Amino acid sequence: MERTREERLQQAFAFKVEGRYEDSERNLRAILEEAPDDVRVRRELGLVLGFTGMFDESLDELKRVSEIAPTYLDGRNSLGLTYAMLGYMDEARAEFEAVLAMDPNNAEALRQIQYFR
């Protein structure tokens, strides 16, 4: 029986949590072959790539998420957090400010923007 895309995505999440990043990445890339604009999958891939030290690739994926779906706030927050982690503070602040412009009560962006005030 073939698993659904959602089941495969959940498997990739589980692999990530278990620290099985290569397995997670493989699942995520396979899903993206069928659905290249699925922002949840691209966001997860961006996070997994960051966990494995592939920072440029991580940023590329997370930027792509924001290009595909600029109002997908989980993606914008992930991009902001990744920028901050890598020391790109101006870019990080801009992402959190963009999130707050769309959702002034966004808990993650409110928590993170405190570091810039």
How many Cβ atoms from other residues are within 10 Å of residue 104's Cβ? 9
Which structural domains are found in the chain, ordered by start? 1-69 (1.25.40.10), 70-117 (no CATH)
pLDDT at residue 88 in the model: 96
pLDDT at residue 69 in the model: 97
Residue 105 φ then ψ, to 5° = -105, 15
Mean pLDDT, the chain, whole residue set: 95
Which residue in the block uniquely carries the two structure tokens 């982690």? Answer: 85
pLDDT at residue 5 in the model: 87
pLDDT digits (tens, 9 = 90+) for 41-97: 999 999 999 999 999 999 999 999 999 999 999 999 999 999 999 999 999 999 999
pTM, full prediction: 0.92
Q: What is the three-class DSSP state of 116?
A: helix
**pLDDT tier, 112 (very low <50, low <70, confident <90, very high otherwise):** very high
